[in-house]
Structure 1
Amino acid sequence: MEKSQLEIACFNLDSVEIAQANGANRIELCVNMKEGGTTPGLSLVQAAREKAKIGLNVIIRPRGGDFVFTDAEFEVMKQNIIEYKKCNVDGFVFGNLNADGSVNIAQNTTLINLAYPLPCTFHRAFDVVSDVFKSLEDVINCGFKTILTSGQGKNVEEGIDVLIAVSQKANNRIIIMPGGGLRSSNIGLLKEKLGNTFFHSSAITDSGETASAVEVNALTAKL
């Protein structure tokens, strides 16, 4: 990647507008911040698509908690992708695991095939996989284009060593996008260690769920 880019996790339309106006390259649209982000409703997706001229990826996660989904939950995920593709979104974000912490290859492959030709990001389910390097290969083989991860740490700074190791192992076969506690105060360190890549932040600096225009601006300034 010639130049680093910025994805902002947006939990409402105000954040979509703020992200776009302050230099973000892409939006990850979701709701329920306290649950770590879940699937937004159709009306929010449609409204975000109307406002966003930049990239718009939609998270497909039927609930918070773990990433081991029942057959019924998996059916909902499939229907969400079919429905939201019609909204002209630019990609999807999901990650399904097995009970032992391995990547659920069958479910993820099915979802990627439904999303085709739109690119898919494997989200922070990667931070709870049982074997990072085996999971990296499984995610690549499923056909994901990006992995969003904190390096299995509470935040990107704590997970920096794993982020570096995974990035080296990936060897440009997939984008490793650091996210989780990423702020303008530490993005310089991450860029120094990982080089040019996509970076992910909510850019929320208060107790609410809306991105800070000042923080988005500060993040883009350090790309």
Structure 2
Amino acid sequence: MDKNTKPLIEVCLESAESVVIAEQAGAHRVELCSDLFEGGLTPTPGAFRIARRSTERIVINVMIRPRGGDFCYSQAEFDIMKEDIHVFREEGADAVVFGILTPDAVIDYDRTAQLIAMARPMGVTFHRAFDMSRDIHASLQTLITLGVDRVLTSGGEATVPEGKEVLADLVREAGEKIIVMPGCGLTERNFARMHKAINACEYHVFLPQETESRMTWRPGHIYMGGTLRQPEFSLSRTDSHQLKSVLGA
């Protein structure tokens, strides 16, 4: 990538409101999910419809992930993924985002090929299941062979800053055959430094801002989640100030 060319920024988010915020802040693309506490699951068709209806130009990619946990799916879960891809293709999504591994942690070639065929003409991103695979360089070649458009990755590490050297290698290895899109752990403070080290053409960012619930009466003894609780009266939305900072980096 030309050092003087600004990279494309994709924002990870989980609400129609955040899609609107991202567009207004100047984001190029969003990845719409539900339940980012689980790392991102499939959003509802209703969330997608309202996001699309409420925006003018932004590209909306949709997560296809039927549950949290690993990326080795049962037949029923795989059937759900196929059905969800069909639904979002009909709804007008720009691309779908998914990842499937075999029990021995290599990319499930046959199932991935089936989902790609179902998804077209939408774009296809293979998500960070890539980072959980046994050999990410071999996995990159598999995705190139499959014709995947881009891969979201932290370089086989927990975060982009930890995987930046590997990510730079993957970007060079991929060339123009597939887009390597670094994501996870990118912040307003480290983005410019990471881009200088990696020199990717696209990046994936999660830039939340907590906002207060409108609830004025708040029972403190009732929780809707499990033992590991998120605040019931704090809502997460994309932070437009952080996003504008990253876009201007």
Give the TM-score taking structure 2 as reference length.
0.86
Residue 191 of structure 2 corresponds to residue 177 of structure 1: no
Number of aligned positions between the proteins: 222
Cα RMSD of the aligned pairs, angstroms, is 1.3
Distance 2:183 2:240 in 1: 18
Tell whether the 8 Å contact from 1:9 to 1:27 is kept in structure 2 after alignment.
Answer: yes
**Partner residue of 1:141?**
145
Tell whether the 8 Å contact from 2:17 to 2:51 is kept in structure 1 after alignment.
Answer: no
**Partner residue of 2:32?**
29
Opposite residue 32 of structure 1, the aligned amino acid is: D
Distance 1:203 1:10 in 2: 8
Identity %: 36
Instruction: Summarize the Cα distance change of 1:62–1:22 in structure 2 as closer, same or farther, 3 Å threshold.
Output: same
Opposite residue 60 of structure 2, the aligned amino acid is: L
Q: Of the two structures, which has the highest relative contact order with CA contacts closer than 8 Å and spacing of 6 or more? A: 1
Residue aligned with 2:40, SS: coil
Which is higher, the Rg of structure 1 or of structure 2? 2
**Partner residue of 1:105?**
109
Opposite residue 199 of structure 2, the aligned amino acid is: G
Q: CA deviation at 1:100?
A: 0.6
Residue aligned with 1:86, SS: helix
Q: CA deviation at 1:205?
A: 4.5
**Partner residue of 1:204?**
208
**Partner residue of 2:128?**
124
Opposite residue 28 of structure 2, the aligned amino acid is: N
Residue 43 of structure 2 corresponds to residue 40 of structure 1: yes
Residue aligned with 2:122, SS: coil
Opposite residue 149 of structure 2, the aligned amino acid is: K
Opposite residue 116 of structure 1, the aligned amino acid is: R
Distance 1:51 1:219 in 2: 24
Query: What is the correspondence of 1:10-29 to structure 2 with a 5 Å cutoff?
Result: 10-29=13-32
Residue aligned with 2:77, SS: helix
Name the stretch that deviates more: 192-201 or 64-73. Answer: 192-201
Residue 173 of structure 2 corresponds to residue 163 of structure 1: no
Q: CA deviation at 1:194?
A: 2.5
Please, which runs of 5 or more residues in structure 2 have no aligned partner? 211-233
Opposite residue 200 of structure 1, the aligned amino acid is: H
Give the 4+ runs in structure 1 shifted more than 4 A. Answer: 205-208
**Partner residue of 1:217?**
244
**Partner residue of 1:94?**
98
Please, which runs of 5 or more residues in structure 1 have no aligned partner? none
Name the stretch that deviates more: 158-167 or 70-79. Answer: 158-167
Residue aligned with 2:91, SS: coil
Opposite residue 242 of structure 2, the aligned amino acid is: E
Q: CA deviation at 1:17?
A: 1.1
Residue 86 of structure 2 corresponds to residue 82 of structure 1: yes
- Of 51, 61, 81, the match for 2:54: 51
**Partner residue of 2:154?**
150
